Amino acid sequence: MKAWMELYPEKGLSSETFQAVLLTTSSFVNLVQHLFEDYEFEFVLLGSLQSDKLEKRFSWYRQASGGNYYVSSRQILQTENKIKVLSLVKFRHLDIRHCDISSNEISSFNCND
């Protein structure tokens, strides 16, 4: 990767992206070597080492905040409360129109069946 970047500096990745890819790749190599040598793993599923679930959650935060890339801690807490309420409504088969979710505390909302 370093040789490719040196050959074609004007094409390809920004300096920040290149550094991130280089760090991620070398970290994976070191992790796999460590698991093979020190823990005698027979194989490592690198696809299991990903951040898709975390990225999906932050996508929810951004969408719930009007599509803003930068969300505040308050917006994250409000979105978490909304997600919890919707999950409870979905899995308890409740009608959200009968739920009082005006409180900021998730533990204090009421639903009438």
pLDDT at position 7:
82
pLDDT tens digit sequence for 17-65: 889 889 989 999 999 999 999 999 999 998 888 888 888 999 999 999 9
Rounded Cα distance, 80 and 96, in Å:
16
pLDDT at position 11:
77
Higher pLDDT, 112 or 78: 78
pLDDT tens digit sequence for 68-96: 889 999 999 999 988 888 887 777 776 66
pLDDT exceeds 70 at position 107: no
pLDDT at position 87:
82
Helix (H, G, I), strand (E, B) or coil at 111: strand
| pLDDT band of 3, cuts 50, 70, 90 | confident
Strands (E), 48-102: 99-100
